[in-house]
Amino acid sequence: MNAAELAGFLRTRRARVQPMDVGLEEIGRRQTCGLRREEVAGRAGVSLDYYTRLEQGRRLRPSRQVVVALARALKLSDDECNYMLGLVGEVPLPTPSTPKVHAGALRLLDQLDDIPAMVLNSRYDILAWNRMATALVGDLERIPEGERNTLRWLFSGPAREVSPHDHAQLGRSCVADLRTTGRYPEDPGVRQLVHELSQESAEFAALWASHEIGINRTMTKRMVHPLAGFLELNCELLAIPESSQRLMFYTATPGTATHRALRSLRETVEESFNC
Q: What is the pLDDT of residues 47-80, one digit of tens each?
A: 999 999 999 998 889 999 999 999 999 999 888 9
Q: Is the pLDDT of residue 160 over 50?
A: no
**Residue 134 and residue 241 in one domain:** yes
Residues 144 and 117 in one domain: yes
Which of 56, 87, 118 terminates a domain? The answer is 87
Q: Does residue 241 have a pLDDT over 70?
A: yes
The answer to the question of residue 97 being in a domain is no
Identity (one letter) of the amino acid at 97? S
Rounded CA-CA distance 110/108 in Å is 5
- Same domain? For 114 and 203 the reply is yes
112 and 240 co-located in one domain: yes
The tens digit of pLDDT for each residue in 5-23 reads: 999 999 999 998 888 877 7
CA 251 – CA 68 distance, rounded (Å): 40
Among 249, 202, 254, smallest CA distance to 108 is for 249
Top-confidence residue, 160 or 140: 140
Residues 6+ apart with CB under 8 A from 105: 119, 128, 240, 243, 245, 247
Residue 193's domain is classified under what CATH number?
3.30.450.180
Same domain, 38 and 163: no
- Is this structure's pTM higher than 0.75? no
80 and 215 in a single domain? The answer is: no
Domain of residue 52, residue span: 3-87
- Share of residues in the chain with pLDDT > 90 (%): 47
> Are 15 and 131 in the same domain?
no
Output the pLDDT for position 192: 93
Instruction: Please give the tally of structural domains in the chain.
Output: 2
